[in-house]
Amino acid sequence: VNRVRTGQVTYTDYNYEQPKIPQEMTHAGDLDQDLKQFDYPGRYVDPVMGQMRTTEWMSEHIVDNQQVEASSDVMRLASGYSFNISDHPRSEINRDYIMLSVMHTGQDPQVHEDEASGMPTTYYNQFTCIPRDVVFKAPKLAAPVVDGPQTAVVVGPAGEEIYTDKLGRIKVQFHWDRYGNN
């Protein structure tokens, strides 16, 4: 099973004390780079910190992209354990994996003598794992936050210092607006 997930992440921010220093930071993975995720504000002042945050964010997506979901009847499986697949017909699957989660399901109708129905004991599990060489990064769970007032730049026709329409309104472009043409 192949998952289609984000392949590139971008954070941007704005530092009004240094408005000419670019604050947009991007990190791309190996796959699906045309599927992008964007966040503003990036909550960083230093571009180096911004690059670290985009690298971490992309790492979360890489873990999500590499997850394998499967089922088995091996009772010893537990989260945090590792195992190796070998001799699989698809050579890229032959590698070490680490278990992220396991759900065990079983039924033993013989446990209660008075309910013995002759039904067999059954067991299976469903598990999620990732290749062992993928560094695990837990996903962010924080709720969206608006950090106080949003700053913007007044925009208008070229040559006008401050342009107002007939009602005295101005037009602004927020720093998080990547597609504004003003």
Distance (Å, rounded) from C-alpha 6 to C-alpha 19? 29
pLDDT band at residue 105 using 50, 70 and 90 as cut-offs: very high
For 1-66, CATH number? 4.10.220
* DSSP notation for 78-118: -TT-EEE--S-SSGGG-SEEEEEEEEEEEE-TTSSGGG--S
What residue type is 46 in one-letter code?
D
Q: Tell me the whole-structure pTM to 2 decimals.
A: 0.58
Distance (Å, rounded) from C-alpha 119 to C-alpha 104? 19
Residue-wise pLDDT tens digits, 24-72: 888 887 777 788 888 888 888 788 888 888 888 888 888 888 888 999 9
| pLDDT at residue 40, rounded to an integer | 84
Instruction: Answer whether the bond into residue 41 is a cis peptide, omega within 30°.
Output: yes
28, 10 Cβ separation under 8 angstroms: no
Residue-wise pLDDT tens digits, 108-158: 877 766 565 677 889 999 999 999 998 887 777 777 777 788 889 888 888
The domains of the chain are located at 1-66, 68-131, 149-182
